[in-house]
Structure 1
Amino acid sequence: MKILQVIDSLPATSGGSRFVTNLSKKLIEKGINVEVLLIDGRKTHFLEDLLQSGIKVHWLGENINRFHPRYIKQVATYLDKYDLVHVHIFPTSYIVALASLLNKKSAPIIFTEHSTFNSRATNLIFKRIENFIYSRFAKIIGITPEVKNFILDNLKVADIKIQTITNGVDIEKITFTQDISRIDLGFVEEDILILMAARFSKEKDFQTLIRSLTYLPEQYKLIMCGDGLKKQECEILVKNLNLSNRALFLGNRSDIYSIMKVSDINVLSSHYEGFGLSIVEAMAAKKPVVASNVPGMNNVVKDAGLLFEVGNDVQLAKHLLELGTNESYYAKISAQCFERAQQFSLDTMAEEYINQYNDTIKDKL
């Protein structure tokens, strides 16, 4: 079985990037022939990881406009060279769907929807386009039941065409990752380190986390790993709140698991979130997690970590204060989070995708 994974690019702090990288490597381990196609092949540690793993990676250019329609024709030339094409993330979904119109011998296409919200699906004009794009896919995978429900509620997609496969994380890799010294990051042992690792994008809500720091004692320090269009806005907010000595922007990091393990608390503050891969990785690192109460991620976190309402910096600060001052509570939440992480095995996820690949290929025969 020969599979092509297609994604627009592999940003250094993207959950989609980590998903495609982890899935591709695990499929190779299981004897599946996998290649990856990127619209934009700009260099990141995820691309390097794939190449070092011996996975063949194609790309159409570097630092290019991923939305340009000229790539449709180029992508079309790949679609009949594989048994199945697995697509991730907009705009790749559009590019591949339209490319399939140009290649009548195209392999069947599976699309994984990674988000519980898609503004195109709720827009009266774009809804028609979205329905057409989804019609080009043999099967659609939602990463949580909430993702599947969003599709069913907003688009004309048959229930039988949509499956749910929950994301998985590489628990063993996280467990055996070495810690780094907090001293090397510029902190002291007494500091309580809060980490949020995510892109600075519209769906993420770094601002609420930054504001929550104003309610906390001086020893609470914030580490933000990632990059994106909203980063400068957050840097200005930190400066305006006089938090520059307590909030550190580390940019994109290839050693994010080490930073997770040296941090005391991991937070994912979002406006919407399909799953929250980084929050499960933090759970696997035996750290307590605090996350926004949004569909998809709330079911991953509830009864293990802690939830706060979107934008409620006071509620978030109360959770962080309790975790930082109550050792038994901290230990309890950490243990619950680690136990929950065991439910999200990368190996199980890969097996479920292989089953879907086999069924989809058989359906075309």
Structure 2
Amino acid sequence: MKIIYVITKASEIGGAQIHVRDLSILSKNQGHDILVITGEKGALVDQLETSGVKTKVVPSLVRGINPLCDILCVIQLCKEYYMFKPDIIGLHSSKAGILGRLAAKITGFPAIFTAHGWSFAEGISPKKRKIYILIERIFSKLAIKIITVSKQDKDLAIKNRVSTDEHQVVIYNGVGPSLPTQKTNEESKTVKLIMVARFNKQKDHSTLINSLERLAHLDWRLDLVGGGPLLNKIRKLVDESSVKNKINILGERNDVDELLSSSHIFLLISNWEGYPLSILEAMSSGLPVICSNVGGVNEAVKDGFNGFLIERQDSVMLSEKIEKLICNSELRKAIGKNNYNDYIQKHSLETMHSKTLEVYKTVLEPR
């Protein structure tokens, strides 16, 4: 099968980039002919090329709205589609999804759009939500199928009349196995917390920092991993907090597996989400998780079983759940074990890949 994947950003390695990278590499290793189109060079392109996956940079594929660039991008995408002659086109991220679907319509190649959390999810301003809903209502018809990474996202599209039940299919994200949590962790008196997330409006580092100020009397350390436009703002917030000596901002890292394996508790505090890969990576490491109850998070985390869910921006509730896990190592172990077992059963990379290829084959079958 000849497959083109299109995604806007390559300089950052977020959930959508990891998704495309893993699908591409697994498909290539199974003998499929893969081309990944991005809007820029970066870590994603480097990782794909190291694995032998063909890439193409289309500089006019930019995240922001730019009419001249957008028109040029559609023309360039059409050219790449005609040259590669794919059996199927997989589109990822909002901007690539819009321009990629338009180019697919023009060229006649079938396209599938994967929504990694809708642009009109809860947490987005009402004005922007209305605009994004209108855009997606128009462009959803240009995809032969839409893959959502959570049932919540599928239901959200139906509720807002963006797409139908029949036009969508849910395939949960999957990740490869991580390093197991080190046994020496539980011997440490200091409990290590970790949050792996970009510093942007989607993530809610400020609520996390506020909640931890209530726990200054306990023995813990927090590692914040990631980059993003709000990094300096959060750095300032940490410096002005009463727990600045307990928080380390590590920035972008290539050793996330090692950081997870040496931690005790994983946190993901957000304003909105799709079905975040970072939670699944923590699950594969056998860590208990505490997450905001937004988007499809509650489809991965069952409150009290493999982690705790907190309501959005509820710093008091977050403090209570963190304290509960800090003070009870046996509870951490039990919840971490449940998490790892859940990962094995539902969220392996191979399961996600096989279900995705099955969708491709189904939509390509003669009707």
Question: Is TM more than 0.5 here?
Answer: yes
Which residue matches 2:46?
48
SS in 2 for 1:37: strand
Give me the TM-score of the superposition, normalised by structure 2. 0.88
Which residue matches 2:164?
158
* 1:121 Cα deviation from its structure 2 partner: 10
Q: Distance in 1 between matches of 2:136 and 2:223?
A: 37
Equivalence map 1:1-365=2 (5 Å): 1-41=1-41, 43-44=42-43, 46-61=44-59, 67-68=65-66, 69=70, 70-80=72-82, 81-101=85-105, 103-104=106-107, 106-115=108-117, 118=120, 123-171=129-177, 174-175=178-179, 189-216=188-215, 217=217, 219-302=219-302, 303-342=305-344, 343-363=346-366
SS in 2 for 1:79: helix
* 1:128 Cα deviation from its structure 2 partner: 3.1
SS in 2 for 1:166: coil
Partner amino acid, structure 1, of 2:329:
E
The Cα RMSD (Å) is 2.5
Contact 1:87 1:93 in 2 (8 A): yes
SS in 1 for 2:166: helix
Contact 1:291 1:306 in 2 (8 A): yes
Query: Residue deviations 1:127-159, cap 9 Å, x none?
Result: 333211111111001111111001111134232
When residues 349 and 64 of structure 1 are mapped into structure 2, their CA distance, relative to the original with a 3 A threshold, is closer
Identity in percent: 27
Contact 1:208 1:313 in 2 (8 A): yes
* 1:96 Cα deviation from its structure 2 partner: 0.9
Query: Residue deviations 1:308-345, cap 9 Å, x none?
Result: 11111222122222212212111111111111111211
Query: Residue deviations 1:174-202, cap 9 Å, x none?
Result: 137x97x99xxxxx954321111111121
**Where does structure 2 lack aligned partners over 5 or more consecutive residues?**
none
Query: Residue deviations 1:65-110, cap 9 Å, x none?
Result: 6643132211121223211100011111111123235x33x31000
When residues 138 and 215 of structure 1 are mapped into structure 2, their CA distance, relative to the original with a 3 A threshold, is same
Partner amino acid, structure 2, of 1:60:
V
SS in 2 for 1:212: helix
Q: Distance in 1 between matches of 2:335 and 2:268?
A: 16
SS in 2 for 1:10: coil
When residues 207 and 152 of structure 1 are mapped into structure 2, their CA distance, relative to the original with a 3 A threshold, is same
Q: Distance in 2 between matches of 1:16 and 1:355?
A: 20
Contact 1:8 1:66 in 2 (8 A): no
* 1:125 Cα deviation from its structure 2 partner: 4.6
Give me the TM-score of the superposition, normalised by structure 1. 0.89
When residues 291 and 116 of structure 1 are mapped into structure 2, their CA distance, relative to the original with a 3 A threshold, is farther
* 1:2 Cα deviation from its structure 2 partner: 0.5
After superposing the two structures, state which structure 1 stretch, 23-32 or 274-283, moved more: 23-32
- Tell me how many residue pairs correspond in the alignment: 351
Which residue matches 1:185?
none
After superposing the two structures, state which structure 1 stretch, 133-142 or 10-19, moved more: 10-19
Partner amino acid, structure 1, of 2:263:
S
When residues 125 and 254 of structure 1 are mapped into structure 2, their CA distance, relative to the original with a 3 A threshold, is closer
* 1:61 Cα deviation from its structure 2 partner: 3.3
When residues 15 and 123 of structure 1 are mapped into structure 2, their CA distance, relative to the original with a 3 A threshold, is closer
Contact 1:275 1:297 in 2 (8 A): yes
